[in-house]
Structure 1
Amino acid sequence: MELTDAERRLLALHYMFPVPLNRLKRLYETDPALEKLYMYKAIELAQILKISLTKASQLKEKLLRNADTPYEKLYERHAITPIPFSNPLYPDQLQLLIDPPAVLYVKGDFALLAEKFKVAIIGSRKATVYSKEALQLIVPPLVENKAVIVSGLARGADTMAHEAALEFGGKTIAVLGHGLFHLYPKENHALAEKLALNHLLVTEYPPYVSPERWTFPMRNRIISGLSSAVVVTEAADKSGTMSTVEHALDHGKDIYAVPGSITSLLSAGPNKLLDEGAKPVWNGFQIVGSLVIDG
């Protein structure tokens, strides 16, 4: 993949300052090609990026110290493809976010980003066999109609979604809340390696960034942003799953919820969504029909 000089400068900046694109807006307004990136004084960086002078001084020092680092070659060595926001491979859907990723770091078949029909399947990390049974009915019709399954590689429902896509011969994208040098949770290491070969791992964080509590809510907007529709299997009323739904609603995405027992705490989230207007789903053809009509 060919990168412009401006995109190479963004890779250098983003490695040291891994923030969403909205945090770089004033910098691009001032210097659209980042031609003056290495010439700014610390006080200028502090004012433009709205960071403390101490942080700006540290950023300037790191940029200068690593000015000759061949980031592209380093990523290539680890089979990682960086996709800056200005690159043709960057998904148009993510440009609609308030805070689009400045760079996507992907591993695997990045052509999946261009697939038209992508469906997010999310739910609780404590999802039960009920989610697995529901996915046996929901995923096959999606796969048959070339929908790519998007989820977050977390324990529970996310893992079930990725595995169901593999089981039925489909394609799947895992959006990570950390850099590609880290794999979380550890029990999904083998699954992640499989996805990195023939499917896709995606993150907005440079490879060295480790999992943190705050990074996972951030990745939720990418899951919903990439997808045409979001399916919720099981989720507590207040959870990360529901925050993903909020992102999806903000961008007019279709929300589907698996109806559940009123005695199950993990059905409280989907049942509440149904009460608020989400579409009930018990078969993937319901989603396929909607996608085809809307498409």
Structure 2
Amino acid sequence: MANKQRDLLFKLTVCNGIGNLGILKILDFSMRYNDSTDFSKEEIIQIAGITTYQKLFSQSWDHWTCESEKLKEYQEQHTFITILDPTYPYYLKQIYNCPTLLFYKGNIKLLEKNCLSFIGARAASVYGINIVRQLIPEMIRNNITIVSGLAKGIDSVSHQVTMQNNGNTIGVIGTGLDICYPKETAHIQRMMMEEQLVISEYPNGVGPRKYHFPMRNRIIAGISLGTCVIEARKRSGSLITAQAALEYGRDVFAVPGNVFDAQSDGCHGLIQEGAKCTICPQDILEEIQLFSI
């Protein structure tokens, strides 16, 4: 029955017109009724609460039902865990709208580690890069796995500094694992898929969409004990991740910068709102060492 649930969840994930919340509703219904997986598309539409995209979902479901062999081949091209698997990250499971599936390449055991996310400006300054180089080595010495989003700037520097210091790092992306976005960090992503871990809630072939990245950010925040923001403008996407972390009851750390430089305005705002002003590794460690999986 577990395999049937796994197959159903994959089919729903690749269908158009149904979102992750709808899939979670189907899974909840299935578990409440003896792990049933034999749903008609009409039942799925009703249980998942699909309204606007009923026609789109119906056509997509029919397509994959008729092309069951192609669907099986497509599924076999992926390695993934579901929310029902014991390897699914404990802290991620606690958040609202946690991803039903996590596609991955690399060392899945990294999901069992205590994680801390580092995020910030894509146009990182020398100051921001030096902050990453100051903070991350001490995190590694304390067995903390570094999580970020494989974007340009602070994200990619965080991954690189972690690997240079023989630490563990997880990249969370907003596309399928067969796509590298942005291209500037493709070499880091490929290296991490071999030596570290890269995860996504999107199957192969799914390209970047604007709404994918706020969704990606909730995974970065949800998987981590805390989130450290280094250089963020007032309307930075990094603030979305920090806000998600606050909503999940996780620690938020913000590194101050030059008060005359808009590059750090978002960090200063976070500090004013209660994020921990972070100027050295111990500022982080004294908070997150209170928690453990």
TM score, norm. by length of structure 1: 0.90
Q: Which residue of 2 aligns with 1:150?
A: 147
Q: Which residue of 2 aligns with 1:57?
A: 58
Q: Which residue of 2 aligns with 1:36?
A: 38
CA distance in 1, matches of 2:288, 2:174: 28
Give the CA RMSD over aligned residues: 2.0
5+ unaligned residues in a row in structure 2: which ranges? none
Contact 1:18/1:206 (<8 A) preserved: no
Contact 1:18/1:205 (<8 A) preserved: no
CA distance in 1, matches of 2:111, 2:278: 25
**Residues 15-62 of structure 1: CA deviation (Å, up to 9, x unaligned):** 22485542224423543335213xx1x444433331444123212312
Q: Which residue of 1 aligns with 2:91?
A: 93
CA distance in 2, matches of 1:153, 1:105: 16
- Indicate how the Cα distance of structure 1 residues 20 and 262 shifts in structure 2: closer, same or farther if over 3 A, else same: same
CA distance in 2, matches of 1:195, 1:75: 22
Percent of residue pairs identical: 30
Q: Which residue of 2 aligns with 1:110?
A: 108
Q: Which residue of 2 aligns with 1:252?
A: 249
- The CA deviation at 1:196 is 0.4
Paired residue type of 1:238 = R
- Indicate how the Cα distance of structure 1 residues 234 and 111 shifts in structure 2: closer, same or farther if over 3 A, else same: same
Paired residue type of 1:188 = T
TM score, norm. by length of structure 2: 0.91
Q: Secondary structure at the match of 1:31?
A: helix
Q: Which residue of 2 aligns with 1:237?
A: 234
CA distance in 2, matches of 1:21, 1:105: 14
Q: 1:178 aligns with which of 175, 179, 201?
A: 175
**Residues 185-222 of structure 1: CA deviation (Å, up to 9, x unaligned):** 11111111110011010100111110111111110000
CA distance in 2, matches of 1:213, 1:43: 30
CA distance in 2, matches of 1:191, 1:221: 22
Matched, 1:22 2:21: yes
CA distance in 2, matches of 1:19, 1:256: 35
CA distance in 2, matches of 1:254, 1:137: 19
Paired residues, what number? Answer: 287
CA distance in 2, matches of 1:250, 1:53: 31
**Residues 54-103 of structure 1: CA deviation (Å, up to 9, x unaligned):** 123212312312323464x65665xx421111111111212211111010
- Indicate how the Cα distance of structure 1 residues 161 and 109 shifts in structure 2: closer, same or farther if over 3 A, else same: same
Contact 2:132/2:154 (<8 A) preserved: no
- Indicate how the Cα distance of structure 1 residues 18 and 283 shifts in structure 2: closer, same or farther if over 3 A, else same: farther
Paired residue type of 2:104 = V
The answer to which of 216-225 and 4-13 deviates more is 4-13
The answer to which of 188-197 and 15-24 deviates more is 15-24
Q: Which residue of 2 aligns with 1:66?
A: 67
5+ unaligned residues in a row in structure 1: which ranges? none
CA distance in 2, matches of 1:45, 1:20: 12
Q: Which residue of 2 aligns with 1:271?
A: 268
Q: Which residue of 2 aligns with 1:193?
A: 190
Q: 1:284 aligns with which of 275, 281, 289?
A: 281
- The CA deviation at 1:5 is 2.2
- Indicate how the Cα distance of structure 1 residues 166 and 19 shifts in structure 2: closer, same or farther if over 3 A, else same: farther
- Indicate how the Cα distance of structure 1 residues 140 and 19 shifts in structure 2: closer, same or farther if over 3 A, else same: farther
CA distance in 1, matches of 2:18, 2:278: 36
Contact 1:119/1:148 (<8 A) preserved: yes
- Indicate how the Cα distance of structure 1 residues 29 and 161 shifts in structure 2: closer, same or farther if over 3 A, else same: closer
The answer to which of 43-52 and 265-274 deviates more is 43-52
Contact 1:142/1:285 (<8 A) preserved: no
CA distance in 2, matches of 1:125, 1:173: 18
Contact 1:10/1:34 (<8 A) preserved: no
Contact 2:15/2:61 (<8 A) preserved: no
CA distance in 2, matches of 1:98, 1:261: 35
Contact 1:127/1:235 (<8 A) preserved: no
